[in-house]
Amino acid sequence: MAATLKDIARQVGVSVTTVSRALAGYDDVAEGTKERIKAVASELGYSPNIVAQRLQKQRTDTLGFIMPTFGPRFSDPFFSEFIAGVGNEAASHEYDLLVSAHAPNSAGELKAYERAVRRGWVDGLIVVRTREDDTRIQLLCAHNFPFVAFGRTSDDLEFPYVDEDSETGMRLLVQHLIDLGHKRIGLIAAPSGLMFGRYRLQGYYDTMRDNNLPVQPEWVVEGDMTQRGGAEAVTPLLGINPRLTAIIGGNDLMAIGAINRIQQQGLQVGRDVAVGGFDDIPLAAYTSPPLTTIHQPIYEIGQRTCAMLIDVINGRAPTTPHSLLTPTLIIRESSGNPI
């Protein structure tokens, strides 16, 4: 059924070599022959066998992306938007994108990375949500495998990455709340071990300290990055006496969960308790009240990460192996008026 070069060669009466070269557009094939070959090729509905090409070219033109998802079910808009960015950029360079999902630090995840490092699976990998002491990155560096990360690590490994300056972002948000008159600000932090959570935490502590505002240990609780996690984490925060006047979600999803729980307790967000988020997912503008948050251009980050990876794969040293994006504060209603 599927036509091969050999089929065309037989029918036209030339060698496989000539067919290959004619189709590839070399100029050492006579015009007439080229015509005939092309005619037969399209008549037979020929299209090259991609696997054979890959074997011969010794490259797969495929990028890999292993999503670090907590639990099999998840629904983090971060991933769909990031995939869109990476995928479209990849497509525009004629690369395919292979995706899979594994829980962070799980055995499955490690196996997936080991598989990826094998030759012939993908040409390069994209790593997101970097961790302190990140085994994925250690493995990749050790094997000298091409990859680009979204996020930095605490190791002093040298590798190309894109990252947002989360610390500055958090400073912006905390300062905004302080400027509004808040002094008792709680934080629902990302799970420990995640680098971006660490930077955000740092930004929080530093800004409080710079404003001479003490922080009680119980003002910071961990959440699992989901709405449910945000809702659950906010409960102890609301029990603190005297009450916190503002609560920050380590990401928008947790902030949304927090808003929900705060309202269930009969408090009004933006008046009784100010709430801030982080990420500016599309939904953030549509919560009630709309969420004050820090904007991250996830789609563009995906594009940029992908473009860098393609550079790395092709041996072009990226002009800027480390790019740090500047975040912006989006003020909406959840942070309320000055008190």
The contact set with a second copy (CB under 8 A) reads 2, 47-52, 54-55, 60, 62, 67, 69, 72-77, 79-81, 83-85, 87-88, 90-91, 96-101, 108, 118-121, 226-227, 231, 256-257, 259-260, 263, 281-283, 285-288, 290, 299
Q: Which does 294 bind (CB under 5 to 8 A by kind): a second copy, DNA, none?
A: none
Spatial contact of 116 and 66, defined as CB atoms under 8 Å apart? yes
Minimum distance, C-beta of residue 251 to a second copy, in the bound complex (Å): 13
Tokens coding 114 = 């080991």
Helices 195-210 and 166-179 pack at an angle, to 10 degrees, of: 40
Residue 181 dihedral angles phi and psi, to the nearest 5°? 110, 0
SS3 at position 61: coil
Q: Which does 257 bind (CB under 5 to 8 A by kind): a second copy, DNA, none?
A: a second copy
Site for DNA in 1-30 (CB under 7 A): 2, 4-6, 13-18, 20-21, 23-24, 27-30
Q: Map residues 56-95 to x or -, x wherever contact with DNA holds by CB under 7 A.
A: xxx-------------------------------------
Q: Which does 16 bind (CB under 5 to 8 A by kind): DNA, a second copy, none?
A: DNA
Spatial contact of 185 and 208, defined as CB atoms under 8 Å apart? yes
For residue 279, what are the contacts with CB-CB under 8 A and spacing of at least 6?
78, 251, 252, 253, 293, 294, 295, 296, 298
Minimum distance, C-beta of residue 264 to a second copy, in the bound complex (Å): 9
Tokens coding 72 = 């099999």
Minimum distance, C-beta of residue 4 to DNA, in the bound complex (Å): 3
Minimum distance, C-beta of residue 99 to DNA, in the bound complex (Å): 25
Q: Which does 31 bind (CB under 5 to 8 A by kind): a second copy, DNA, none?
A: DNA
Q: Which does 79 bind (CB under 5 to 8 A by kind): a second copy, DNA, none?
A: a second copy
- d(CA 67, CA 90) in angstroms, rounded, equals 17
Q: Map residues 258-297 to x or -, x wherever contact with DNA holds by CB under 7 A.
A: ----------------------------------------
Task: Specify the length of the chain in residues.
Answer: 339
For residue 51, what are the contacts with CB-CB under 8 A and spacing of at least 6?
none
- d(CA 60, CA 309) in angstroms, rounded, equals 14
- d(CA 46, CA 7) in angstroms, rounded, equals 9
**261-297 burial string, b = 16+ CB within 10 Å, else e?**
bbeeeeeebbeebbbbbbbbbeebeebebbbbbbbbb
- d(CA 254, CA 265) in angstroms, rounded, equals 17
Under the binding rule (CB under 7 A), the answer on residue 317 touching DNA is no
Under the binding rule (CB under 7 A), the answer on residue 53 touching DNA is yes
Q: Which does 23 bind (CB under 5 to 8 A by kind): a second copy, DNA, none?
A: DNA
Q: Which does 107 bind (CB under 5 to 8 A by kind): a second copy, DNA, none?
A: none
Residues interacting with DNA, by CB under 7 A? Answer: 2, 4-6, 13-18, 20-21, 23-24, 27-31, 33-34, 46, 48-49, 52-53, 55-58
